Structures are given as structure tokens and as C-alpha cells.
Amino acid sequence: MPLVDGTETPDVGRRRVCAGCRQELVHSGTGRPREYCGQRCRQATWARRRRVEQRRQTVLDRSQWWTPPELRKRVLDTWDIGLDAAACHESALVDQWLGPTSPVEEWRDARTVIWADLVQPGQTVYCNPPYFPSSLLGQFLERCVDTAVRGIGVTGLIPASPCTGWWIRWVAEGGAEVDFLPGRLAYDGPFSSGGVAPFGAALVHWPAQT
């Protein structure tokens, strides 16, 4: 829009550079503001976004490592499990479970659910949480500690990483009992590698605090 002296005002609200190649954009006086300098940059940017989403999904898939059969039996024989807090229909240890594919919409994000409200007194919650990224793992471990504080014990299968911040905060300082499992586990499920895991694991129990 011209000012009184004939100069042009800045393109308020319009991109100054191409979203793809970062070169300066030239806008026409009418029509939609430009985001890209051309179709090639548009396609290249969309392709990069698709690759980022694919990598994100790969990380999520890597977290879908199901509890090995021998550990499932051990957990079920040792504790009265009333809830599997990180599962799908195929991997759940018990009929009541939380996970993204839960038929109950409110149960699809375990981090927003009060686990202790879903089990009976004396029962235990089981959790084989997503391992990646570590920030997501930490959020699940925080729920484990919270559930124990509410009077319900929690047993979890997690990477054996005593030197990490999340372990120190939620396991060591969270009052958990730790059983370091020998060797490397061969996880179950379609997203496991078919061989042993590249890290050790531990079965961790947060006793109910009364």
C-alpha cells in the first residue's frame, strides 16, 4: 500500500523468505501471499516433512516392544495385575489396559489417566512403557511413582540405565525395588528386531505407599 510520499509499506503478515530455500520472496500486489519461490521448493519441503514424520513414526514403532512371554508369566504369577498401563489389544497382560488403540477414548493417553482409580485395593499396575524418547519414558515413570503414592503398587519393565537422569529421579529416588535381569531380552511383537535388545533391562517395582 503506497504512503502519501509514494513509498511502499512493508508486507505485513507475509513471509519474507521462501519456506524451502530461504531466498527472499517477491510478493505481487494481489492474491494469496507466497510461501515458496516455486513448485520445486514446495515439493522439496513437503518431502522433507514426510521424512521427518516417517522418522517420528519409526521412533514410536521402536517403542512398541512387547513383554517377552517368560516375563509375562513371571509378572502374572508374582502380582495380581489389575491394569496394563502401556499396551495394545495384542500385548496387554490383562483385559484392562491403556494405550493409543484403546476402545475407551479416555484411556488412549495413559499419561492423563489416574491409574490408581482403575484397580482394586491390593492389585498392581503393570507398565512396559515406551522407551524412546527418554522424555516420554520419564513421563510414564512419573505416573508409576504417582500411582504408588496413591496406594497402588506398580511393576515396570524398563531399560537398565542407572546413570541416567530419569532413572535417578523416578527409580532410585522414587523408592523402587530393582531386579536387574541377566543378559539381554528378546522382546516380543511385530516391531521387535527378532533378536536380543541392544541394552539390558530391569524389572522395577514401586511398592504401594500406605
Name the pTM for this structure: 0.71
Topology adopted by domain 69-206:
Rossmann fold (3.40.50)
Look-up of cell digits 514401586: 206
Q: Is residue 205 classed exposed, middle or buried when 0-12, 13-18 and 19+ CB atoms within 10 A define those classes?
A: buried
CA count, 13 A, side-chain hemisphere, 37 = 11
pLDDT at 200: 96
**If 0-12 CB within 10 Å is exposed, 13-18 middle and 19+ buried, where does residue 105 land?**
exposed
**Secondary structure (H, E, C), the chain:** CECCCCCECCCCCCCCECCCCCCECCCCCCCCCCCCCCHHHHHHHHHHHHHHHHHHHHHHHHCCCECCHHHHHHHHHHCCEEEECCCCCCCCCCCCECCCCCCCHHHCCHHHCCHHHHCCCCCEEEECCCCCCHHHHHHHHHHHHHHHHCCCEEEEEEECCCCCHHHHHHHHCCCCEEEECCCCCCCECCCCCCCCCCCCEEEEEECCCC
Question: Going residue by residue through the chain (210 aa), what tens digit of pLDDT does each one get?
Answer: 443 444 444 444 566 778 778 778 776 665 566 777 778 887 877 777 777 665 554 444 455 689 999 999 999 999 999 999 999 999 999 999 999 999 999 999 999 999 999 999 999 999 999 998 899 999 999 999 999 999 999 999 999 999 999 999 999 999 999 999 999 998 887 766 666 888 999 999 999 998
Q: Look up cell 511502499; give the residue.
A: 8
Residue extents of the structural domains in the chain:
1-62, 69-206
Residue 23: predicted pLDDT:
79
By the 10 Å C-beta count (0-12 exposed, 13-18 middle, 19+ buried), 82 is classed as buried
